[in-house]
Amino acid sequence: MKTDTLFYRLFQTLPELALQLAGIPADQAQGYAFRAEEVKQTAFRLDGLLMPPPDAPEAPLLFLEAQAQPDEAFYGRFFAEMFLYLHRRAPRRPWRALVIYPRRATERSDPRYAEVLALPLVRRVYLEELAAVPDPGFGLQLLNLLVEDLKAAASHAQRLAQQTRAQALALPLPPLDCLDLLETILVYRLPQLTRQEIQAMLGFTHAELKQSRFYQEVTAESRQEGRQEGRQEGYQEGIHALALRLVKRRLGSLSAAQELRIGRLSPEQTEALADAVFDFQTTADLTAWLAAWPRDKTSSN
């Protein structure tokens, strides 16, 4: 996952966090929606734009960019896209601009835009400095995880998971959604760990796994693909493809014997496997589950 994609996932889920960083008062934060906007007749695309509700004409647009890598041409491109949007769309409301860097050293100065950057309408935030904010809320602590060293980030995430379950701090979202964001960040920060190892680190229960956004999305996507394959190849082949996809996303690669065994399940057994997969922790669980089912006599030759 690219860093900017991770930032935009956070701000899409927690738009009020971006408004807080931009210094927009909390009483104006209701109803904002995160968008990616294309400016027609150009090649420009605004990756981050927080739109206030239509019934709040005094609430500002917020142009948002997360710049994780040094880029000498960044400010020229950013302001060109922003002002072209204002020209083309002509929104009748104020605006603000927010640029987020992991560290001050990442920023590349550009004297052509020094006076624009000095305007109170433009704010730059350096994540490494957020650790000094007193009593940071859940959102700011999530951002801290992106720049802490890996050992500290892992320990911090575990504490946040415990506090989230105990509701020991004010949460901007339901606890399960907060845990999902924690998991997403650790998947990015700790690519050497599997998703299952990260879930274990955060203490996910089986019930939380089944309800998490990741598994809901995987299930919905896989069932849709399974239905499509079922229409194309026949019902039985479609649900076998669905179950195999779910198992591989949960456990990783399978042996040829395991794939063959799944392919020989009856439609009813395959549907049961698709429901049981979220309880599996290792391939041994899959092996035990398969052993508990009688082989489908119609396909065992």
Same domain, 36 and 103: yes
Q: Are residues 176 and 113 in the same domain?
A: no
Structural domain boundaries enclosing 234: 213-299
DSSP annotation of 16 reads H
- State how far Cα 70 lies from the chain centre: 23
Residue predicted with more confidence, 289 or 268: 289
CATH code for the domain in which residue 40 is found: 3.40.1350
Q: Is the pLDDT confidence value at 24 over 60?
A: yes
Domain boundary among 204, 232, 256: 204
Q: What is the mean pLDDT of the chain?
A: 82
Q: Are residues 119 and 36 in the same domain?
A: yes
In the chain the beta strands, taken as DSSP E runs, fall at 33-38, 45-51, 61-66, 95-101, 122-126
Whether residues 71 and 2 share a domain: the answer is yes
State yes or no: pLDDT of 263 exceeds 50.
yes
Same domain, 176 and 251: no
**285 and 167 fall within a common domain:** no
Please state the domain count of the chain.
3
Contacts of 182 (CB under 8 A, 6+ apart): 142, 145, 157, 160, 161, 164, 202
- Separation CA 118–CA 126 (nearest Å): 16
Is residue 69 within 8 A of residue 82, CB to CB? The reply is no
134 membership: H or E segment, kind and range: none
268 or 45: which leads in pLDDT = 268
| 292, burial (CB in 10 Å: exposed 0-12, middle 13-18, buried 19+) | exposed
Is 183 in the same domain as 86?
A: no
Q: Is the pTM of this model over 0.85?
A: no
Q: Which of 103, 129, 155 is the last residue of a domain?
A: 129
Which pLDDT tens digit goes with each residue over 218-258? Answer: 556 555 655 555 454 455 666 677 778 778 877 878 888 88
Q: What count of other Cβ atoms lies within 10 Å of the Cβ of residue 211?
A: 15
Q: Residue 283: what pLDDT? A: 85
Beta bridge partners, 49, equal: 35, 63
Most confident of 106-115, 175-184, 191-200: 106-115
Q: pLDDT tens digits, residue range 137-168? A: 999 999 999 999 999 999 999 999 999 999 88
How far is residue 44's CA from residue 25's CA, in Å, rounded to a whole number?
30
Residues 142, 122 within the same domain: no
Contacts by 250-254 with C-beta closer than 8 Å and gap 24+? 250/196, 250/277, 250/278, 250/280, 251/196, 251/280, 251/282, 251/283, 251/286, 252/194, 252/283, 254/283, 254/286
The domain boundary, picked from 184, 204, 224, lies at: 204
Give CA–CA dist 199/209, Å, rounded.
8
Residue 221 is encoded by which pair of tokens?
């996507």
* The predicted structure's pLDDT at residue 38: 63
Residues 185 and 224 in one domain: no
Tell me what pLDDT residue 41 has.
47
pLDDT at 258: 86
Per-residue pLDDT band for 76 (boundaries 50, 70, 90) equals very high
**What is the C-alpha separation between 251 and 281, in angstroms, rounded?**
7
Work out whether strand 95-101 and strand 61-66 pair parallel, antiparallel, or are unpaired: parallel
Confidence of residue 44 (pLDDT cuts 50, 70, 90): low
